[in-house]
Amino acid sequence: MASKLDSLLDRFAKQDRLALARLITRVENRSAEVSTVMERIYGRTGHAYIIGVTGAPGAGKSTLVNQLVVKYRAQNKLVAVLAIDPSSPFSGGAVLGDRVRMTDHYRDPGVYIRSLSTRGHHGGLSRAAREIVKLLDAFGHDIIIIETVGVGQTELSVMDLADTTVVVTVPEGGDGVQVMKAGLNEIADLFVVNKADRDGADRIKAELELSVHLRPAVGWRPLVLMTQASNDIGIDALVQAIGRHGDYQREHHDPARDGERRTREFIEVLTSELEERTERALKNGAGGSAERVLGEIREGSLNPYSATRRIIEDHAAIARLLDEGGPKAVRE
Amino acid sequence: MASKLDSLLDRFAKQDRLALARLITRVENRSAEVSTVMERIYGRTGHAYIIGVTGAPGAGKSTLVNQLVVKYRAQNKLVAVLAIDPSSPFSGGAVLGDRVRMTDHYRDPGVYIRSLSTRGHHGGLSRAAREIVKLLDAFGHDIIIIETVGVGQTELSVMDLADTTVVVTVPEGGDGVQVMKAGLNEIADLFVVNKADRDGADRIKAELELSVHLRPAVGWRPLVLMTQASNDIGIDALVQAIGRHGDYQREHHDPARDGERRTREFIEVLTSELEERTERALKNGAGGSAERVLGEIREGSLNPYSATRRIIEDHAAIARLLDEGGPKAVRE
């Protein structure tokens, strides 16, 4: 008996873009079926190369991403863009009229563009982003570009997903860039000084090279590249540098680190599944002892920490909550 | 038999600032005892008035917070400041030399200042912030000011803790402010146009007033105030406006909404306790079936979603993980 989900997954496997879009929407809405979907498509992931592009608003990230799409399409690669950026034209929040529009690419079936709103995710953003990337990967994309503004803990953690992280700065970034450099410095595989025709480009390049030089001399040393994305200057060199970083990682492949990465991913999936199931069960009106505890919480006669201990230490209560928030309960 | 934790809590109850500092550090480090601490101090919370101050880097938030501290100290109130802001001078990351220093207040026993690093919290930042605020409240502070840059999902969610949220903008904020206004608009109880002597102050005030006017005409309507924090202009009016918002909330007190707020807090505490216990147990080397699953994850023969389902559906396995990551295991 083929369920609606089965037929959606079948169409996904045949590269139906509408099925992809629908599955991404389920991930965004945190449907109870998400884990089942991921379990079913997981075996087909691992093919795509994932590029993260991050930097302050106004650094020209969207223009740069647009140019990268053009280059990879010229190599006949299937490209997906996931924009997690309130200021991105992809996510509809553009405030500057002069930004390059991605709409041309919307007509190209070799490019899939999707934005992920940062609103209403309550910390589940990085899980949603990870799962959408898995869907884009399993669908058959060769290149996945994640664009995000490099501010905020959640937004930074999304960059964990990238094989190569590109941090984009501009000469006149001023204190905003200064502030962010602290955190972004640590995650950059490549630095790009965009709008490199402007005053101060050489200075910021020298600063970034110094910061790279001050790192411990082990592993990959980030390169600092100059681009003028809107004039297609330096983009080919950026594509080459991304390729070099990819080669470096393959050559210096470390099975122990792979194991650690897989363990981290598992812990994230397990803990957020616990969180989502519990939240779902409590919101849908869980029965039994959890219901009584909720009543006392509402009237203020029990504090949340005592309530939590009471539920977790009662193994039957926590098991019931986890079952009720699971996919089976919803399937009926 | 009084444990080390018991004596720390005793000293905390006697308003020993060192004990407060130590308990905050345990919260920051996610000690397994945190939930026990919170359970013990929870009954003494609910006294403090919590003010959130947020806005873009460079908006003068720190100067404004500094002035608010001066005003509340003049009323003989005990004041605590919690800075969650990588660019704040409190958290040591100041990039501009001209910022007002809070160091004067460090000598005043009526002011407690603490910064919370946004690094390494992996989404647990809002839980840590909530618990530190509870500690500051239970300690006996009258006013707690939380300062954060209003960017990023996690940083925004911290503002949920505030009784009154003040959003600070500046005339020349440009696109950065524009970008953030989208999200900040919804959480503001009061808008402050700081550096109001600069060009464009009237324009941004008119814009903010329009945005307030466009809100549905129910409940509190945010006020827009002009300040020059560094010259102590407009700060008394801000203190009055905060008081008016507090009065409004007391007059329009809604028991049903209190129940919802308590339910949300409980769900957050329960789900993050599940998360932290599981993570702790897996990192410390959990025994039994979880250990076997971890091995398969590490070598890549099992995907994280199937592994998660296997553990959650095995009630004994998940109960064991939750016990092993709990406070008892650590106490031995």
Nearest CA in chain A to B184: A119
The rounded distance, in Å, linking the Cα atoms of B32 and B325 is: 8
Distance CA A148, CA A184 (A): 12
Q: Is the pLDDT of residue B90 over 50?
A: no
Task: Say whether A57 and B319 touch across the interface (CB within 8 A).
Answer: no
HSE-up of residue A114 (Cα within 13 Å, Cβ side)? 22
Q: Which positions 139-178 of B are in contact with A (Cβ < 8 Å)? A: 149, 151-155, 157, 175-176, 178
Whole-number Å distance between alpha carbons of A183 and A250: 26
In the prediction, which pLDDT does B217 show? 72
Note which residues in 181-200 of chain B have CB less than 8 A from chain A: 182-183
Q: What is the pLDDT of residues B31-73, one digit of tens each?
A: 889 999 999 999 999 999 999 998 877 788 889 999 999 999 9
pLDDT at A92: 39
Instruction: Indicate the domain borders of chain B.
Output: 1-44, 46-253, 257-331
Strands A143-149 and A79-84: parallel
Specify the pairing of strand A223-226 against strand A190-193: parallel
The pLDDT value recorded for residue A86 is 56
Beta-carbon separation of B35 and A305 below 8 A: yes
A322 interfaces chain B, CB cutoff of 8 Å:
yes
* Segment A121-135 mean pLDDT: 83
Q: Which two tokens stand for residue A38?
A: 């991921």
Predicted confidence band of residue B210 (pLDDT cuts 50, 70, 90) = confident
Can you tell me the ipTM of this complex? 0.84
Residue B101 or residue B253, greater confidence:
B253
The Cα A179–Cα A200 span in angstroms is: 17
Q: With bands split at pLDDT 50, 70 and 90, how would you rate the model's confidence at B92? A: very low
Question: In angstroms, rounded to a whole number, what is the distance separating the alpha carbons of residues A170 and A194?
Answer: 5
pLDDT value of position A49:
98
Is A76 in the B-facing interface, judged by CB distances under 8 Å? no
Q: How far is CA A121 from the centre of its chain?
A: 13
Answer whether residue A146 shows pLDDT above 70: yes
Closest Cα in chain B to A157: B122
Which among A42, A304, A312 has CB closest to B322? Answer: A312
| pLDDT at residue number B331 | 44
The secondary structure of A54-78 as a DSSP string is EE-TTS-HHHHHHHHHHHHHHTT--
- Tens-place pLDDT, residues B156-202: 777 888 999 999 988 875 544 554 555 677 788 999 999 999 888 89
Architecture per CATH, A46-253: 3-Layer(aba) Sandwich (3.40)
The residue that leads in pLDDT, A90 or B301, is B301
Q: What confidence score (pLDDT) does residue B10 get?
A: 97
Local confidence band at B330 (pLDDT 50, 70, 90 cut-offs): very low
Report the gap between the CA of B331 and the closest CA in chain A (Å): 16
Q: In this complex, do A179 and B87 lie within 8 Å of one another by their Cβ atoms?
A: yes
pTM given for the model = 0.79
- Confidence (pLDDT) at B130: 93
Q: How many CB atoms lie within 10 A of CB A22?
A: 14
Are residues B322 and A299, on separate chains, in Cβ contact within 8 Å?
Answer: no
| Least confident piece of the model among A263-277, B28-42, B90-104 | B90-104
- Is any Cβ of chain B less than 8 angstroms from the Cβ of A211? no
